[in-house]
Amino acid sequence: MQLSDNKATLSFSDGSAPIEFPVYQGTIGPDVIDIRKLYGQTGMFTYDPGFLSTASCESGITYIDGDKGQLLYRGYPIDQLAENCNFLDICYLILNGDLPNETEKADFDSLVTHHTMVNEQLHFFLRGFRRDAHPMAVLTGLVGALSAFYHDSTDITNPHHRHVSAIRLIAKMPTLVAMAYKYSQGQPFIYPQNDLSYTGNFLRMMFATPCEEYKVNEVVERALDRIFILHADHEQNASTSTVRLCGSSGTNPFAAIAAGVGCLWGPAHGGANEACLQMLEELQANGGIAKVGEFMEKVKDKNSGVRLMGFGHRVYKNYDPRATLMQETCKEVLAALGLENDPLFKLAMELERIALEDPYFVERKLYPNVDFYSGIVQRAIGIPTSMFTAIFALARTVGWIAQWNEMLSDPDYKIGRPRQLYTGSVPRDIPANRK
């Protein structure tokens, strides 16, 4: 942070003396008013439910400009990264700050590849779950359980331990997600295969069986890799803030990431693409394209209770840059799999057309977000709806662990302790007749 020449002055209408606060500048984006001494000087807190105007930390990983529809990983635009890099390149970038050179890439890819297996006892742990358990319930338990097997790298004050934990989490998350899926299907677990790419290996662990050889479809592999890239990090969102808050207590990295998985499960966050596809399937079952206009009119009626999923974003007030890339990927996958006439894709295109033309949606800047198309892509690949959020968690793990490591590397970090505006009862005594 760089101290600005400007200062913020807080004045009071009761005649109290005004107070000055320093202002800090980032490299890009809004400046921040440093209010750390506010309570000590005034006895008051700020009030900001949902943290709409509060910067909770200093970070150099991801930058979003919602008005411009811009997303940067370590300064690189997301569209350039998605076109020119694979997911492990992005992992290296997010963890280390720069894209890898040829040698760094080879070393990093090999390191991740040779950490993809998990302790065999996790198979027995997994069998304690019901077969019909939601994959996110299973994944939360599996990630948290890693700390029981890999406690040799949980000294959070040791940078090397943090690095080892980061590699382990990035490497093992695809294995855990695939295990959760195979368990739900009653199929045997498929072990990692080191001669495949990160994403190709995941596809094989998901869809191969011991009965026959599995060949990775290159178009599908590229599409899923792009989904991973687009979800790798997204600044201080709910799950990332959860990981930071949990990690601020000094807990081990596996517990912190498990907390992030649990937060991501919510339909307002990582479950949004699952909710979006369910909306499309319900609309298709109730008339399809012929009923789109009627459906959109219900969306505009606040009393109807009908919600348009996959449109709008709390941060982006312009088109979500990831949605443009995901739409291209969606077309590529459907064409490669012979699903160009997929009714849900046609339905999605019609919904998008109306939303981009209808003044109601245009004025509210309700543009399609990344969830709108990623669900269709995953469905075409053969990933069931219940697994969508688990795929998201797989991709977001690198962002979570990088943010966690960045926080612990900050000499000024403190345990998170939000304050509140108390509106409950004043001090009172229990009535004497209660005795």
Active site residues: 313, 371
Residue position matching structure tokens 């206009």: 293
Quick check: 431 and 211 in contact, CB under 8 A?
no
Which tokens hold the place of 187?
A: 């199929």
Residue position matching structure tokens 């005034």: 42
Cβ-in-10-Å burial (0-12, 13-18, 19+) of 221 comes to buried
Which tokens hold the place of 247?
A: 């990690």
330: alpha, beta or left, given left = phi > 0 and alpha = psi -120 to 50?
alpha
Q: What's the number of CA atoms in the CB half-sphere (13 Å) around residue 21? A: 18
Cβ-in-10-Å burial (0-12, 13-18, 19+) of 387 comes to buried
Residue position matching structure tokens 């890439």: 105
3-class SS of residue 73: strand
Quick check: 401 and 236 in contact, CB under 8 A?
no
Quick check: 140 and 393 in contact, CB under 8 A?
no
Quick check: 189 and 123 in contact, CB under 8 A?
yes
DSSP string, 323-382: HHHHHHHHHHHHHHTT-TT-HHHHHHHHHHHHHHH-HHHHHTT--B-HHHHHHHHHHHHT
- Give first-to-last CA distance, the chain, whole Å: 59
